């Protein structure tokens, strides 16, 4: 059951605008380089693709790593990419993205777009890859269900959805450890950005109910940070990445 606040409010771009210049520093105070390693964790497993959609990439660190990786793979991969559309509703976060990739040889492939994903129009079966890092937890469950349903329609039949996010383990010490930190982070983002949720929404079950299955999956030792590559369940050979990687 959603609280009154969860029903009435949406995250505020102004809050993210305010956070943008400090975002990386605040993250480093708690995680050092840890979250960035998880953002990059499964980049190697992503096969070459033409149409890419990044959502809520914040200050653009994953976008930059993605471009670096394309470049390192050589011209076969980088020439294949036609368009990388990156949508964020914070003008300041987009400014950071623009700055971060300003000198990148592949920047001309990137189209930065200022907009709210909850009001956006998506093409049908267009994207070979959708990327969301620490983004799906910005939404209350009904919003997320609607968004995931729209985006699965936008995903090409053989497409992949790369999700990096926090999860809450369901038992043991890890459950309490993650629960405590997630409560602190939710309180911080509610204060700064009017985040509409008070607890983590289980994006994994929503993605699965939209017909997606994780093809690759890694999680950290304390089981509360995961990197997963999803594809449609009825496309078992959708990617090169059909193995399941166990926790480290």
Ligand X SMILES: C[S@@+](CC[C@H](N)C(=O)[O-])C[C@H]1O[C@@H](n2cnc3c(N)ncnc32)[C@H](O)[C@@H]1O
Q: Choose between 30 and 176: whose C-beta lies nearer to ligand X.
A: 30
Q: Which of the stretches 56-64, 170-178, 205-213, 220-228 binds ligand X when contact is defined by CB under 6 A?
A: 56-64
Q: How far is CA 115 from CA 71, 171, 199, in A?
A: 28, 38, 25
Dihedral angle computed from the Cα positions of residues 107, 21, 183 and 220, in that order, rounded to the nearest 10 degrees? 40
Residue 133 as a binder of ligand X (CB under 6 A): the answer is yes
Q: Choose between 87 and 155: whose C-beta lies nearer to ligand X.
A: 87
- How many residues line the site for ligand X (CB under 6 A)? 20
Q: Choose between 141 and 158: whose C-beta lies nearer to ligand X.
A: 141
What's the closest the beta carbon of residue 221 comes to ligand X, in angstroms? Answer: 20
Residue 196 as a binder of ligand X (CB under 6 A): the answer is no
* Number of Cβ within a 10 Å radius of residue 163: 24
What's the closest the beta carbon of residue 96 comes to ligand X, in angstroms? Answer: 9
Residue 130 as a binder of ligand X (CB under 6 A): the answer is no
Q: How far is CA 163 from CA 1, 61, 74, 173, 246, in A?
A: 25, 15, 25, 25, 16
Which residue in 90, 167, 219, 226 binds ligand X (CB under 6 A)?
A: 90
Q: How big is the CA angle at 66 (ends 62 and 68), to the nearest 5 degrees?
A: 115
Strand, coil or helix: what is 131? strand
**Of residues 23-52, which lie at the interface with ligand X (CB under 6 A)?**
39
Which residue in 32, 116, 236, 247 binds ligand X (CB under 6 A)?
A: 116
Contact residues for ligand X, defined by CB under 6 A: 11, 13, 16, 39, 56-58, 62, 87-90, 93, 116-118, 133-135, 138
């Amino acid at each position: 059951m959603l609280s009154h606040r969860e029903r009435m409010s949406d995250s505020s771009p102004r809050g993210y605008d305010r956070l943008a210049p400090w975002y990386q520093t605040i993250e480093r105070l708690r995680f050092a380089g840890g979250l960035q390693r998880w953002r990059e964790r499964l980049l190697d497993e992503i096969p070459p693709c033409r149409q890419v959609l990044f959502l809520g990439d914040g200050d653009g660190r994953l976008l930059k790593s993605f471009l670096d990786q394309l470049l390192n793979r050589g011209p076969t991969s980088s020439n294949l990419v036609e368009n990388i559309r990156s949508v964020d509703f914070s003008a300041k976060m987009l400014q950071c993205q623009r700055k971060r990739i300003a000198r990148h040889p592949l920047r001309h492939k990137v189209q930065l777009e200022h907009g709210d994903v909850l009001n956006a129009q998506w093409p049908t079966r267009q994207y070979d890859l959708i990327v969301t890092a620490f983004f799906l937890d910005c939404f209350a469950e009904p919003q997320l269900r609607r968004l995931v349903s729209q985006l699965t329609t936008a995903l090409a039949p053989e497409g992949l959805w790369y999700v990096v996010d926090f999860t809450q383990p369901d038992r043991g010490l890890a459950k309490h450890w993650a629960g405590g930190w997630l409560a602190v982070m939710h309180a911080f983002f509610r204060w700064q950005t009017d985040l509409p949720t008070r607890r983590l929404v289980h994006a994994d079950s929503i993605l699965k109910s939209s017909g997606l299955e994780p093809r690759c999956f890694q999680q950290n030792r304390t089981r509360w940070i995961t990197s997963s590559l999803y594809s449609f369940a009825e496309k078992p050979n959708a990617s090169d990445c059909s193995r399941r990687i166990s926790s480290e």
